[in-house]
């Protein structure tokens, strides 16, 4: 064990000897049990995918559904609170905030991991209630972790961070030290994962969608009618697929990280089901008071040859439609950030960037701002959630149209997964390329932006292109 970083707070951090393989560490240390988490940069990138994190045994878990929140604290049982879920989230964040400015090698050193389902947007703006709510997942799930294992992929180093909650003073320091030592002992037993055999015959069965090609195209036409009437400029329309899953959700995650590696991947098992995500999109990053969002608009499939790749890359780069879609969302995100950021601080340092993934190309922008001193993470979420890239513009009217045209609620899909540290550092994805698993059923959604010049058949095909990596993970 190297020298520990000890602070005036009940917090310790140390480097440990362990293989810098997040999935191997996660499976060895947790077995994928409910209450654990893995946030993995499966597609490593110096800016987007440098770190991965894992943890287990949260000391507090918050679940929300409608205006009812359940708080379960270790050793204290459950309590139920009736309130707007955003108010409950804020109260818990205030309780555990820890201003901490001393340098350390990880952006996340303990705090909250979880998700905000798309439907939490209903408690920011009043929306109609037409779509069926047919999945059992909470609308909000936030788990509080005193101990976190972090991997720096750039330096190939592994760290353990531990806090002394719920103790205080000397007792808190001793508890944090005990937590560090416990993890170190468990790390001695870590073994490499066996090679993933994706050639075996296990594959999903009976995949179906709530849309046919014809009904999806008709929904696109209805969306275009709203655009022609002046209700909206664009709307994100999606379809949900369902299939029987023939293997364990952990195997699905390992398959997904192989076929569709992404900088914002996650494995999050709950009692209600399992979330398996391989998102390429950052929703919100907060570091030292600076906010960043990176909306994606514009997609092309990867080609079968380098020449096809180059042609598709060029087609996306030169597409006026895709650029127009992205510009509309940039304007929306700038306005959202402007509600909580310092006047004049909102910038667009990257207007159009073409990014390459295993199965698709994407067009991406970066918008930044300085969070106002009188605003917190809940203010930021309420100003920006859900992300504009997966709703449309104007956002509220687009969400009303989504509620009309999509037959089921989105649940976690197009919500956000990520972490918020006790010290205020945060990184959250947009929950796309994401499976929701209930029993032996796997659900996933894909969608795209409908604009005035959208071709319904092309929009339907885009949803299939985005599903390619997910279908490969299913063995299809």
Q: Which two tokens stand for residue 320?
A: 């006026």
- Distance CA(99)–CA(198), nearest Å, equals 46
The count of other CB atoms within 10 Å of the CB of residue 99 is 8
Q: Judge contact between 360 and 465, C-beta under 8 A.
A: yes
Which residue(s) pair with 73 in the sheet? 60, 77
Q: Which two tokens stand for residue 175?
A: 């508890």
DSSP string for 136-180: ---SEEEEEESEEEEEETTTTEEEEEEE-TT--HHHHHHHHHHHH
Q: Judge contact between 356 and 282, C-beta under 8 A.
A: no
DSSP 470: H
Place of tokens 């890239």: 389
Which of 254, 255, 262 is closest to 44 using CA atoms? 262
Place of tokens 């604290």: 73
For 148, list phi and psi in degrees, rounded to 5.
Answer: -140, 140
CA distance to 49, 164, 227, 254, 397, per residue, from 222 (Å): 39, 55, 9, 39, 14
The count of other CB atoms within 10 Å of the CB of residue 187 is 18
DSSP 379: H
First to last CA, the chain: 45
- Distance CA(19)–CA(28), nearest Å, equals 11
Strands (E) across 56-146 are located at 60-65, 68-73, 77-82, 111-116, 140-145
The count of other CB atoms within 10 Å of the CB of residue 288 is 10
Q: Judge contact between 297 and 326, C-beta under 8 A.
A: yes
Q: Which two tokens stand for residue 329?
A: 């969302």
Residues with active-site annotation? 281, 297
The half-sphere exposure of 323 on its side-chain side, counting CA atoms within 13 A, is 10
Residue 417: strand, helix, or coil? strand
Q: Judge contact between 451 and 234, C-beta under 8 A.
A: yes
Q: Which two tokens stand for residue 315?
A: 């087609």
Residue 359: strand, helix, or coil? coil
Place of tokens 């994928």: 32
For residue 6, what is the enclosing H or E element?
A: strand 5-6
């Amino acid at each position: 064990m190297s020298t520990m970083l000890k602070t005036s707070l009940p917090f310790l951090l140390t480097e440990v000897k362990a293989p810098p393989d997040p999935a191997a560490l996660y499976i060895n240390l947790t077995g994928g049990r409910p209450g654990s988490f893995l946030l993995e940069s499966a597609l490593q990138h110096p800016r987007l995918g440098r770190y991965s994190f894992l943890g287990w045994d949260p000391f507090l878990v918050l679940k929300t559904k409608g205006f009812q929140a359940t708080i379960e604290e270790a050793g204290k049982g459950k309590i139920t609170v009736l309130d707007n879920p955003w108010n409950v989230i804020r109260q818990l964040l205030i309780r555990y905030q820890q201003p901490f400015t001393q340098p350390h090698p990880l952006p996340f050193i303990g705090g909250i991991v979880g998700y905000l389902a798309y439907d939490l947007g209903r408690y920011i703006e009043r929306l109609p209630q037409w779509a069926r709510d047919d999945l059992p997942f909470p609308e909000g799930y936030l788990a509080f972790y005193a101990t976190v294992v972090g991997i720096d992929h750039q330096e190939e180093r592994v760290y353990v961070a531990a806090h002394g909650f719920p103790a205080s003073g000397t007792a808190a320091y001793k508890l944090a030290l005990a937590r560090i030592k416990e993890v170190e002992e468990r790390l001695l037993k870590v073994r490499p994962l066996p090679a993933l055999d994706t050639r075996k015959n296990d594959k999903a069965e009976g995949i179906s969608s709530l849309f046919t090609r014809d009904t999806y195209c008709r929904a696109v036409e209805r969306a275009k009618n709203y655009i022609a009437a002046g209700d909206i400029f664009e709307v994100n329309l999606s379809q949900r697929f369902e299939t029987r899953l023939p293997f364990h959700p952990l195997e699905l995650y390992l398959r997904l990280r192989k076929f569709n590696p992404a900088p914002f991947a996650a494995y999050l098992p709950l009692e209600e089901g399992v979330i398996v995500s391989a998102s390429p999109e950052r929703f919100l990053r907060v570091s030292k008071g600076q906010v960043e969002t990176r909306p994606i608009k514009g997609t092309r499939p990867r080609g079968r040859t380098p020449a096809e790749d180059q042609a598709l890359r060029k087609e996306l780069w030169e597409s006026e439609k895709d650029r127009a879609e992205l510009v509309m969302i940039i304007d929306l995100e700038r306005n959202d950030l402007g509600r909580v950021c310092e006047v004049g601080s909102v910038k667009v340092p990257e207007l159009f960037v073409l990014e390459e993934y295993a199965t698709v190309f994407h067009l991406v922008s970066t918008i930044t701002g300085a969070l106002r001193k009188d605003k917190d993470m809940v203010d930021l979420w309420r100003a920006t959630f859900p992300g504009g890239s997966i709703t449309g513009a104007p956002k509220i009217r687009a969400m009303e149209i989504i509620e009309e045209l999509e037959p089921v609620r989105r649940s976690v899909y197009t919500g956000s997964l990520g972490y918020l540290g006790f010290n205020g550092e945060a990184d959250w994805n947009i929950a796309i390329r994401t499976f929701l698993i209930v029993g032996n059923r796997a659900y996933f959604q894909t969608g795209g932006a409908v604009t005035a010049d959208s071709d319904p058949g092309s929009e339907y095909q885009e949803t299939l292109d985005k599903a390619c990596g997910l279908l490969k993970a299913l063995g299809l």
